[in-house]
Structure 1
Amino acid sequence: MTDVLAKYVSRPTNPQNTPFFDMQYAELVPMAIPLNLSMNQCISHPCFDVLFSHFSINDIVQIYSSILLEKKIAFVSQDPHKSSLCVIACASLMRPFKVTSTIIPVFIDSNTNNFTGSNDNLLNKSFIIGTTNSNIGADLIADVSTGVLSMKIPQQLVIPRSSEIIRKINLVIQNRINDITVPPAEVRSFLGRPGSNPKYDEFFKNVEPFVFPPYYTYYFPQKYIFPTALIDSIREIFASHIAFELNDKIKVCIVKNKNTNIDELNKQMFLKQFNLEESLFIIQFIETGVFTDFYERSQQQMNKKPIPLFRASSYTTYTKYNMVSNATDALSPFANDANDNSIHE
């Protein structure tokens, strides 16, 4: 009764030029509380399909590489919801690396003056933003409407073995392509008259409650809707692609400084482990805060000693190690916290 009275009290008292219509709300909106999911999963599940619906896998790998190199990246769209979801999806894609760039999912045009002026402004720092303004001074502009990347530098560097990660992601997506492709909302009959598509309604009945509410796509159509298992598979591919290799190559290149008696990374020895094409990316990458954080955590993990199960004799070498459940948790500096986020607080 209180809600009904409040509705009528909120209406205008003066006569209006146009009829007053009550807002219609959905009677049932399916919701789920993902108690068993990590923070990164809760962030990535509702937004991954938006990113992959608007950009090719090659372009997503290029964006991923640019984030690792701390470039200035702007997702441009007249629909702030889509551009912001692309920003969030990219940030959640970076695990196990820590994103050091400034992240602004919705950057209002009125804030553009923050990019000009003093030397200590956002223009001099790396960022990942969603905006409606394409003249933002970014190194890489991703147009969400057209799915086209515009780069300040003609040829951007990409991660080592990029063709391998593209092939793996293509494979897992193609295996589920019939289940993730949104059918057309309308189909034409034999006489050419448009009508509702029963496959469209059936598709949304099977959408998982952990992804973005299907009601949104009625008004903002997209190409794919990913199930959570596919999203986790894609995140694992990115997480294990370069991190394992870096971790192994860092281990053999740590030397002790004779003057300070402190372990340091021998960069020359480290670079020699990559071929010429890969080293072009690695040379820039090792100078970033992303790599510095990765190296420090990797070194801390290597310095940890295993815990003996019991007092070992000269004949026993049994030691206790922490168990890991998946590829991401198996990465050296990242096995302790399943909720470890890739975004610096």
Structure 2
Amino acid sequence: MHAIRLHAFGPAENLRHELTDDPVPAPGQVRIAVAAAGVHLIDTALREGMTGPYPAPAELPTIPGREVAGTVESLGEGTDPAWLGRHVVAHIGTAPGGYAELAVVDADKLHPVPAGLDAAEAVAMIGTGRTTLGILQFTELGPDSVAVVTAAAGGIGTLLVQHARNTGATVIGLAGGPAKVARVKENGADLAVDYTLPDWPRQVRMHLDTLGRRATVVYDSVGGVTARAAVDLLGSGGQHIVFGWSGEGLHDGRPLTFTDEDLAARGITSQNVLGPAMIQKAGGMRPLETLALAEAAAGRLRPTVQRYPLAEAAAAHRALETRGTMGKVVLIP
């Protein structure tokens, strides 16, 4: 099979498209003919040998990628034969292997791909979608809510804007550059602003003043000065929901933190909802995966997907690292 293999930690150029042996499913596993493989910002950190939510691979070469969709074409010993030939999607977990024409997955991680979703959309929902639904557990939105979404043109941001719009909330989306701002507006945001421009907080305040409102929740995935300015828009009782700090340059790539005294003075709360907090509240990640796929199948959430050929995985990584993507990045073998 063809796969993307990493032989040495380092830049995106270290990702090589090459022939390698077909994987063999172990007992309780299936082998999937991959139609789409998800690319995550975490993948770029692991490629460089950095640690994160998942451990860096112990041995090289390795095949990155933890989200796949496709057709089950082979079974390991003892695996339910009903899976054979089915269109499925799975979050592989801690063992990578998704950037390939074939991938092995534990059968208990599989979900059937719902009717109406293609493989790339299913991949987006099994990863980005489940995280979005996990984030939304920590807030209750409705017509009286004003939600500020940072990185609103990204995979999670796109879905947060849609959900907030569906609840009747006022939605303010922050994105970098005219093309992304236009996409956020098309996605349903009441106001979309370019957070690379110095006067964006003034634009938002003017909009809120016309409504006689203050922000009630900030969904923050960038950290740094952008998050600080967004939190300054919150009124008393507002929530700062943190699920990343991917910024650089204007966004200095550090989580925005507060002392208890500062929070009390502002009358707001701030919570990092990733990791154990999300898993505990949801009762595991699988319920979030099931819900995310159902929301997409019902048309309530529709991911934006940016597709790259498998052979161009390095270009996909570079685009992610330089904020050159919109929505979920997916590789197509």
Q: Normalized against structure 1, the TM-score is what? A: 0.29
Q: Normalized against structure 2, the TM-score is what? A: 0.30
Larger helix share, 1 or 2: 1
Structure with greater Cα Rg? 1
Structure with the bigger RCO (C-alpha within 8 Å, sep 6+) is 1
Larger strand share, 1 or 2: 2
